[in-house]
Amino acid sequence: MSNRLPSRENARRLTLSPRSVAQAQLTAAMLTVGSTVIASKAIGAGLDPLPATALRFGMALPVFLLLMRLTGTAFPRPGLRDALLLVSQAAIGSVGYTVLLIAGTQRTSASDAGIILGTLPAVCALTAALVLGERLRARTLVSVTIASLGVAMITLAPGEHRDGARSLTGDAMILGAVVCESLFVLLNKRLSQPWPPLAQASAMTGIGFVVAGLCALPGWFGAAHTVQLNALLGVAYYALVPTVAGFWLWYAGAARVPGGEAAVFTAVAPVSSVALATVLLGEPLTLTRVLGLTLVVVAVFAVSGRGLWDRVRAQRSARDSKVS
């Protein structure tokens, strides 16, 4: 029996290409984003949204600062206009998003929250058109329409898992969190010079910690508190996995693929949210949820899939030209 070493060609086949690694990183990043609704559900059961948000940033900040030191990343010196934009970004996109997400999951299911969060690409495109005056393309209108139908499918559906006005309030809060995140993206475009991703994430975390902490102090000191262990574990998970690890995975992957292709991977987040809510929380996977999730994923591809399709066509053309 002969022991043959693998040929160089076979070894190449076993090695993942940089693009495949990038796609795996983007997928993993969006899996962590999808898990935030599960963590928020656990957090909301034992902590108020504002103190929980301050704790999230307080736990993540030392890790980000350590990463900056290890990588030699420095904070740029922003002018007054950029400094105000950064504070606005942190207050709206970091604090506002987290508070509304936790408050929303206190009132609605994790599955429905995850599906609504999946509308972010469509909401970003619509907000850019309305706020920045960017051209409202046909695919944006199609994406927004499809995403709206998907959200309506789950929010207006009757069923035992829906708690009437309370669930509608929670859904509205989750949609508010999506709007906050879209404003975060738009405000980032207004910066006079782009920041290194690690520096910006650290700045958002630090400013978010201060803003959330100051807002939480008045109510926190005036009442007795019994914090459940599950809530603290949920905050720690949110701080270290989606916030820190998810950030690294996304930017590491996005650096190796075109922006349009990276955006398509946001479709993974709502799918993972529903899957995790079904498996871990025992939430029912109803027909309306499946249909709503399908529409939201289709909406993501409608607004973001053109770059991926263009790349596929370019690769086919290049392959055909080689053959001929």
137: tokens are 């393309």
295: tokens are 């529409």
What are the CA-CA distances from residue 280 to residues 39, 64, 127, 239, 283 (Å)? 11, 29, 34, 20, 8
Give the whole-angstrom CA distance, residue 87 versus residue 184: 11
63: tokens are 């890790």
- pLDDT tens digits, 147-184: 889 888 887 776 655 555 668 899 999 999 999 999 98
- pLDDT tens digits, 65-110: 999 999 999 999 999 999 999 999 999 999 999 999 999 999 999 9
Give the whole-angstrom CA distance, residue 252 versus residue 43: 28
Q: Is 10 helix (H, G, I), strand (E, B) or coil?
A: helix
CA 125 to centroid of chain Cα atoms: 15
Give the whole-angstrom CA distance, residue 124 versus residue 129: 9
Measure the CA angle with vertex 260, ends 174 and 96; round to 5°.
25
Give the whole-angstrom CA distance, residue 96 versus residue 295: 26
Residue 281 · residue 38 · CB < 8 Å: yes
Please report, for the chain, how many H helices and E strands are present, in that order: 15, 0
Report which DSSP code applies to 191: S
Question: In this predicted model, which residue has the larger pLDDT, 318 or 2?
Answer: 318
Note the pTM of the prediction, 2 decimals.
Answer: 0.84
- pLDDT tens digits, 196-247: 999 999 999 999 999 999 998 877 665 556 678 899 999 999 999 999 999 9
Residue 148 · residue 306 · CB < 8 Å: no
